[in-house]
A and B are shown apart, each in its own frame.
Chain A
């Protein structure tokens, strides 16, 4: 069959809302787009553990500590589900991990901001996981089967992440003046980076049109961002806090909140590696990989020895 027919058959399947599975024919660009997107997503889960892990030993109570530990552990699992999905497309796990520490692969730029106070752990669970959930709920219906299934599993686990974060924010905002100020400060610092998580405006986003046609994405960056803003406002009000945006107001006509302009210069600076923590994050990943190498080697040597021993025993019996 000629390539053109295959492409048409593929697009017809997508348009009929069929799911694409690992061994099905797919355009090379679809495969590459998915490997790039899924691995970036996996890297984000893994790097995302770092800013939160910063507070595990300093959590203010045992209840908060077990919640944060469980959340960070979940994120490691999310990374694994996603690397596995990328591997079904023929990518090698070791190559993907190498790209992360080489700096040739991206991850969500939000994780290049520092966690300065305990309130940041509340704001991250509430806003950062909240924004991620918006995106991930959409991806449960993405056209590539293994990616969609990983997302279903992830979404089931995410809900507690957001709730534990918001609970921290409630406790702080109902606490002392100092604690309330801490909560407001965290909201001020995490609000705009959270809105940036959805990526560039639709008009600027070079991948959106093709990703929508292939139903990898089912909503655009701007649609998801708007939904996130709309759902966050009443949550901010309940806390008695204020979003750091003087242009934020309800637009009766649109049935949505209007919000101020995003500082895209800052976004691109952070994406290009000049955020407050980019170097630290990559250095931590490189260290983990280098210092973990001997474990990988030792486990393989042990497995080989065990196999050999079992074989020797069998020949002796025979």
Chain B
């Protein structure tokens, strides 16, 4: 039997009002241990107020070799940005 503890990805909210952010990974037998270990490893200097752990195998990621077809279509859609539209200065801030 393989007794290697599964790998977990750790996300930490540094303070209320901010999103959780990926900080790294660790091995743990289950989710409770993953959170306890994350507390010990990633928040030794009060770096967080909340921890999420997700078993790494549950994360699906986009394929970096497909980045052209995924992200290039947004490149020429400059009309999605506010500066595309001409508003006279007299109107004031809009």
Contacts and interface: CB of A to CB of B under 8 A. Distances in A.
Interface of A: 21, 23-25, 73-74, 77, 80-81, 84, 87-88, 92-94, 149-150, 153, 157, 293, 296-297, 299-300, 302-303, 306-307
Contact of A77 (B3, B25, B41): B41
Contacts, number: 50
A23 B5 contact: no
A302 B29 contact: yes
B27 interface: yes
B26 interface: yes
B3 A150 contact: no
A88 B26 CA distance: 11
Given A73-B44, A93-B4, A296-B3, A303 B30 contact: yes
Contact of B4 (A25, A94, A150, A307): A94
A88 B30 CA distance: 20
Contact of B29 (A24, A74, A153, A299): A299
A92 B61 CA distance: 20
B3 A300 contact: yes
Interface residues of B, number: 20
Contact of B5 (A25, A80, A296): A296
A73 B39 CA distance: 13
Contact of A84 (B5, B26, B64): B26
Given A84-B24, A297-B3, A303-B30, A74 B64 contact: no
16 contacts: A23-B64, A74-B44, A81-B24, A81-B41, A84-B24, A87-B7, A93-B4, A94-B4, A149-B24, A153-B24, A293-B3, A299-B5, A299-B29, A300-B5, A302-B29, A303-B33
B65 interface: yes
B63 interface: yes
Contact of A150 (B7, B24, B29, B44): B24
Interface string B22-51: 011111011001000000010011000000
B4 to A, nearest CB: 5
A169 B4 CA distance: 42
Contacts of B7: 87
A62 B45 CA distance: 20
Nearest to B22: A149
Contacts of A299: 5, 29-30, 33
B29 A303 contact: yes
B24 A23 contact: no
Given A88-B25, A93-B27, A300-B3, 18 more contacts: A23-B63, A23-B64, A25-B65, A74-B44, A77-B44, A81-B41, A84-B26, A92-B4, A149-B24, A153-B24, A293-B3, A296-B5, A297-B3, A299-B30, A302-B29, A303-B33, A306-B30, A307-B30
A74 B1 CA distance: 32
Contacts of B5: 296, 299-300
B76 to A, nearest CB: 22
Contacts of A296: 3-5
Contact of A24 (B3, B44, B64): B64
